[in-house]
Structure 1
Amino acid sequence: MKEFDLQELEVATDGFSPSRIVGKGSHGSVYRGILKDGNHVAIKKQSLGLQKLGDNTKLENEARILSSLHPHPCLINLLGISYDSFGNKILVTEYMPNGTLHEILHLSAMPLSWPKRVEFAIHIAKGVGFIHESDPSIVHRDIKSANVLVDKNWKAKVADFGLAIREDELNVPAGTIGYLDPGYTTPCKLSTKTDVFSYGVLLLELISSRKVIDVVESPASIVEWAVPLIQKGRMMEVVDKRVVLPQYTRRSIKQLLRMAARCLSPTEALRPCMPQILAILESSILSPVPRPLSINLIPEIILKILKSKKMRISGTCEDHDIRSKKMSKHTLPVREILIDLTLK
């Protein structure tokens, strides 16, 4: 792993200027940096208070987990590390110019289209599924919209592995209220299905654009609000009202909401695993949608019908055996074909 010189990172961030901060968390801040080669990077650094305390556990853990994984297009890419003046680790990752999914869902005036929401759901499922399939499995423990970053090509990537641990490691239960699996109460309860529960909450948030915990709503919890609606078959009431939905999307929306409800099952064994979720997303939800029939395709379709009936075309065009003549819109106008069929 590349080790960056601290001075280079200070220059890249204008001395870690507050104007360069693009994100904040309990562990510290993330700065946008421009390296001397012109590349934009994100630099994650401990807060001053934690630096003095020497509490660098989250960044140390994130570096440990990410460096153990092969690069994946749906996970944030760790470019290297550095150390501050107290000896605490600094992380350098790829820069994601479109911010977090949380910002896009709750702060943007322009709502996401339905296809983009499904695409993001797939990206996240691929990223989470990848870490679950490592040996031993890695559990992220903090799947939420604020930990999903979006790159310049509008591809979503799972980030912030500060709480991630391997499934065979014991640790105090951790996560974010609203996304946290209520069954994860002791270290021995940890499993990949813990992330599946959080993913189910994130799906509801992605579909509805409602905050996971919103004290101005009743009920305040997105799970307590959405799951009863899904169970009663009132699934379209969960969908973001700002999004215009063609009729053909209703089936995929309902299927996605049913899957979200399965992810949120109190019984862990009833929750699907990430490969199953991804299979449903890719095979059913993203199945090709019939497009409106192009007028240019009508002659070809009519030709096939006539061939099957062994009919002949007459009228303004010379009689030809349809079985031996190749039709084109230039030699056989659609209007003439329709008129001819009507007269026969």
Structure 2
Amino acid sequence: MNSVRYPYIVTFYGACTETGKYALVMEYMSLGSLYKILHKDKLSLDWFNRLSVALQAAKGINYLHKLQPPILHRDIKSLNLLLDEFRAGYIVKVCDFGLAQTRNETTRQTVLTHALPCTLQWTAPEILRLKKHTNKSDVYSLGIVYWELAANEIPYDEHQNAVIREFVLSGERLDIPQTTPLKFATLITKCWTNEPKDRPDCSQIIDIIEQCIEDQIIIPNIPVDATWQPKGTTVAGGMGEGNDSNQLNHPLGLFIDDDDQMIVIADSDNHRIVQWKIGDTKGQVVAGGKGKGNRLNQLNGPTDVLIDKETNSFIICDYGNRRVVRWSHRSGTTQGEILIEPLIESAIFGFVDEPLPP
């Protein structure tokens, strides 16, 4: 476990082997498991975030499968996928793979605790037939997790183990919700097919999910001879001049974040920076919004904004205060920090290509 280092694998730091105080020290993931988020917290994820979770999980498992020698997880389920907030979305990391690697394949595991479901729900049919565990057995389990993302339900909830076992071995599968994107629904069906050889490997799964994500972003091909109609589509504001969450007042600079599918706008006369996700009808104030002023929690006529991915923060040209400020993108941030002041009247925000100080 200690030798595995990968962005989508939980980091193992060490262990306590003192008698009576055995413990593993691992990376902390503040949101807990995907199981907790979906079935206890009842967090509603849009399809972009669901597909992002699915992709990251596949990348983590694929990494284990590609190691030499390969590591088979043997216990993939929503309980073993941990999440944390990252930018405007989530980061997903696979856990419990080290224990699963050394687990006896014939060990029966039915009920973990009275509060949590048994592992049986995620177990491939060949394992129920006491066959050898392969990378395709992990893929089957991943398919069940993908069904959880689509249905937002516990697989085989409230059904007895014997009933689940008979259902799976007979080739029956859970109903995939009709609201599931077609390509993702097809992927789930492929992952849980009865024959392991007919299932995709994780590299193929990654390619398919990346296509699913691209399908969520509708960018039509524009013909060379296209002519423009004298009208456009409003993607932010458009509800008149004002300072409500669905309004803007003299918007100036903007930054398009392709990774997180959002637009960040310098809402100048409202003295704030607004984040607007593609398709939303309201924006979210991420900097300023406390009236015109020069305090660290205020802006004065901001004209430009960009996102510094390395520090997960907004860099803002606070024009009226003749300064450049950094404002963290992390939730709970109430004020910025000054990077440069004062700026002369003719300073141009966009021309500097030197890295900003950390």
Range into which the TM-score falls when normalised by the shorter chain:
0.5 to 0.7
* 1:70-109 to 2 correspondences below 5 Å: 71-86=5-20, 89-109=22-42
Q: Secondary structure at the match of 1:80?
A: strand
How many residues of Structure 1 are paired with residues of Structure 2 in the alignment?
Answer: 211
Question: Do residues 140 (structure 1) and 106 (structure 2) align?
Answer: no
Structure 1 match to 2:146: 203
- Offset from partner CA, 1:136-182 (integer Å, 9 cap, x none): 1111111111111002322011112254227xx97425661110112
In our comparison, the structure showing a higher alpha carbon Rg is 1
Taking a change above 3 Å as real, the CA distance of residues 77 and 199 of structure 1, as seen in their structure-2 partners, is same
Shift of 1:286: 2.7
Unaligned runs of 5+ in 1: 1-65, 240-249, 305-344
Match of 1:270 among 193, 198, 202: 198
Structure 1 match to 2:116: none
Shift of 1:221: 5.6
CA contact (8 A) 2:51 2:212 kept: no
**When you count helix as a share of all residues, which structure comes out higher?**
1
Q: Secondary structure at the match of 1:79?
A: strand
- Normalising by structure 2, we get a TM-score of 0.52
**When you count strand as a share of all residues, which structure comes out higher?**
2
Structure 2 match to 1:16: none
CA contact (8 A) 1:183 1:189 kept: yes
CA contact (8 A) 2:56 2:91 kept: yes
Taking a change above 3 Å as real, the CA distance of residues 257 and 227 of structure 1, as seen in their structure-2 partners, is farther
Question: Do residues 161 (structure 1) and 101 (structure 2) align?
Answer: no
Question: Do residues 151 (structure 1) and 79 (structure 2) align?
Answer: no
Question: Do residues 179 (structure 1) and 149 (structure 2) align?
Answer: no
CA contact (8 A) 2:139 2:202 kept: yes
Structure 1 match to 2:209: 281
Q: Output the amino acid matched with 1:152.
A: E
Structure 2 match to 1:114: 47
Taking a change above 3 Å as real, the CA distance of residues 274 and 125 of structure 1, as seen in their structure-2 partners, is same
Structure 2 match to 1:341: none
Shift of 1:68: 3.4
Structure 2 match to 1:192: 135
Counting aligned pairs with the same residue, the percent is 29
Unaligned runs of 5+ in 2: 110-118, 230-358
Shift of 1:216: 7.2
Structure 1 match to 2:60: 127
- Offset from partner CA, 1:26-55 (integer Å, 9 cap, x none): xxxxxxxxxxxxxxxxxxxxxxxxxxxxxx
Shift of 1:114: 1.1
Taking a change above 3 Å as real, the CA distance of residues 77 and 174 of structure 1, as seen in their structure-2 partners, is farther
- Normalising by structure 1, we get a TM-score of 0.54
Q: Secondary structure at the match of 1:105?
A: helix
CA contact (8 A) 1:74 1:156 kept: yes
Shift of 1:185: 4.4
